[in-house]
Amino acid sequence: MIRSAEEMAKQLINIYERTHKKFLLSQDDFKAIAGKERLKDAYLWSVDEQLREDGYLLFDLRPENGTIGVIRIKTVKKWMRIDDIDDYIPGDWEEED
């Protein structure tokens, strides 16, 4: 059965709620749950959009390590913010050609 983006988002939320943890799925596992042979970027964007409506984020790490992750937005809000970015901005930098 092929899952719509909305159905896939619900399934991913179900996994999160069962485990109570952020998680990673291999690309193949993600495709199996989605019922798809291929993953198109547009499908992932649609799943992410659906997840965001319910307070979750999908992050695509396929290029780096072949995985796709899910995390709650409120978890991200707990991450440290860099308030004084002036310490990290080069004082004397020139534009490159």
The domain segmentation of the chain, as residue ranges, is 5-76
pLDDT value at 89 more than 90: no
Average pLDDT value for the chain: 89
Name the burial class of residue 46, with classes exposed (0-12), middle (13-18) and buried (19+) by CB atoms within 10 angstroms of its CB: middle
Q: Which two tokens stand for residue 73?
A: 């937005």
pLDDT at 93: 61
Percent helix, strand, coil in the chain (nearest 5)? Answer: 50, 15, 35
Q: Tens digits of per-residue pLDDT, 42-69? A: 999 999 999 999 999 999 999 899 999 9
pLDDT of 87 above 80: no
Asked if the model's pLDDT at residue 96 lies above 70, the reply is no
List b or e across 2-41, with b for residues whose CB sees 16 or more CB atoms inside 10 angstroms: ebebebbbeebbeebeeeeeeeebeeeebbeebeeeebee
pTM of the predicted model, to two decimals?
A: 0.79
